[in-house]
Amino acid sequence: MDLHRFWAMARKEWIQIRRDPRSMILAFALPPFLLLFFGYAITWDVEDIRLAVVDHDRTAASRKLVEAFASSGYFTVTEHVATVAEAEEDLVRTRVRGVLTIPVGYDRELRSGKGVPVQLLLDGADANTANIAQTYASAIMARHALGEVLGGRKPAQLLRLEPRTWYNPNLESRHMIVPGLIAVIMSIIAAMLTSLTIAREWERGTMEQLAATPVGRLEVILGKLLPYVGIGLFDVTMIVVAGIVFFGTPFNGSVLYLSVLTLLFLVGALGLGVFISAAVKSQRLATQVAMVATYLPALLLSGFLFDIASMPTFLQGITFLVPARYYVAVTRGIMLKGVGPSVLWLQAVFMIAYATLGLGLAVTFFKKELRA
């Protein structure tokens, strides 16, 4: 390992990146664009659920119930229809997500204290939305029903629940998405930037020129990685700042700790990218492998949107191979929870192992000597 040669290699790579407008766009323009795009497009807050109402009672009391749904903010009453059949047709065509049916005699039964059933029919195809709608509906009903019966007095219940939400008090999906996006975006950028770097040398024939120089494998790999690590750190800083400025994402933890773990993540991800391109050698396959191996796992197996805890055990095992999994835990832990090494040490250990592995594989598989 010669520092001078390593430095020369890094400079060469940096000059190549700087001269290639596509690499520059990829490195500097794409990450903030992706953050803004995803940050605004991905909203998981279920609000304004479209509801059709079939009010068979048509009394002041039944209108009050409908009003309770409409004013909750969770439901929008888009249609008042006369028959259940019409409403069901709307449900089949997904024009509405649910149908609220109020029976004849609602007002009378309610006043007699015998209890009235009100039916909510949901489009269960989208189970998650249906589940949330059900949750909201029963909360509205509970509040409304008690208020009605007790004649406007404060609703009382035998047991009270005092719910509190930590880390994200208003349960805004944005605060869950922005820190996770850092990990997803950086996985993509790292894989795209590096998976082509060595394959490019092969296909353009410049590998022979590299082979003719006295540079060793370790120097080539580390020299190639250095500019990308620098770019990656810059990107993460940019995304974090943009997240705080545009989306109001909290930052409760330590900047230093985030930087150290980001460095580890980048070395691993970039090393893995170099490994893929060195092992595969054809650009076509390199791109395909990089895509299958990074983008979808980072999006789906990292815990970014889908809880790892609700996956089957074997899949939970597989998520340990997805580096974004650790990094999502790190960015969320530091930004939202404000936790430090005492909680995140396990992630740190895994990320060190992963960085070592990525670098090791890249160096081992990179064969500088030309094949016959």
Partner 1 sequence: MTGRRASLLRVRRMVAKELRQIFRDRMSAQMVFGAPILMLLLLGYAVNTDVRHVATFLVDHDRTAGSRALVDAFTASGYFRVAGTSDRPADLGRALDKGTATVGLEIPAGFEADVKAGRSPAVQLIVDGTNSNTGTLASGYAAKILQDLSVRLAVTSGVAMPRGVELRSRAWFNPSLESRIYNVPAVIGVIVLLMSLMLTSLAVVREREVGTLEQLLVSPLSATELMLGKTIPVAFIAMAQITLITTVALLWFDVPFRGSAMLLTVGAVLFILSGLSFGLFISTLANTQQEAFLSMFLFLLPAIILSGFMYPVDTMPRFFQELTLLNPLRHFLEVIRGVFLKGLGLRELWPQLTFLTVMAAGGVLGATRRFKATL
Question: Residues 189 to 218: which contact partner 1 by CB under 8 A?
Answer: 192, 196, 200, 203
Q: Which of 8, 34, 81, 352 binds partner 1 (CB under 8 A)?
A: 34
In the complex, what is the shortest distance from the CB of residue 336 to partner 1, in angstroms, rounded to a whole number?
5
The verdict on 122 binding partner 1 (CB under 8 A) reads yes
The verdict on 153 binding partner 1 (CB under 8 A) reads no
> In a 10 Å sphere around its CB, with 0-12 CB exposed, 13-18 middle and 19+ buried, how is residue 58 labelled?
exposed
The contact pattern for partner 1, residues 275-304, with x = CB under 8 A and - = no contact, is --------xxx-xx--xx--xxx-xxx---
Token pair 């009453």 is at which residue? Answer: 77
Q: Which of 4, 60, 85, 115 binds partner 1 (CB under 8 A)?
A: 115
* DSSP secondary structure of 49-83: EEEEEEESS-SHHHHHHHHHHHTTSSEEEEEE-SS
Q: Which of 50, 178, 264, 351 binds partner 1 (CB under 8 A)?
A: 50
Q: Judged by CB under 8 A, how many residues of this single chain contact partner 1?
A: 110
- CA angle (165, 133, 91) in 5-degree steps: 165
Nearest to partner 1 of 79, 203 (CB atom): 203
Q: Which amino acid is at 219?
A: E
Q: Which amino acid is at 87?
A: A
Nearest to partner 1 of 4, 22 (CB atom): 22
The verdict on 259 binding partner 1 (CB under 8 A) reads no
Q: Which stretch binds partner 1 (CB under 8 A): 42-50, 227-235, 264-272, 352-360?
A: 42-50
The verdict on 318 binding partner 1 (CB under 8 A) reads yes
Nearest to partner 1 of 124, 360 (CB atom): 124
In the complex, what is the shortest distance from the CB of residue 369 to partner 1, in angstroms, rounded to a whole number?
23
Q: Which amino acid is at 321?
A: L
CA end-to-end span of the chain: 27
Q: Which stretch binds partner 1 (CB under 8 A): 5-13, 156-164, 242-250, 357-365?
A: 156-164
181 contacts: CB under 8 Å, gap ≥ 6: 34, 35, 38, 39, 239, 243, 304
The verdict on 86 binding partner 1 (CB under 8 A) reads no
CA of 11: how far to CAs of 135, 202, 275, in Å? Answer: 58, 19, 21
The verdict on 254 binding partner 1 (CB under 8 A) reads no
- CA angle (171, 174, 180) in 5-degree steps: 110
The verdict on 325 binding partner 1 (CB under 8 A) reads no
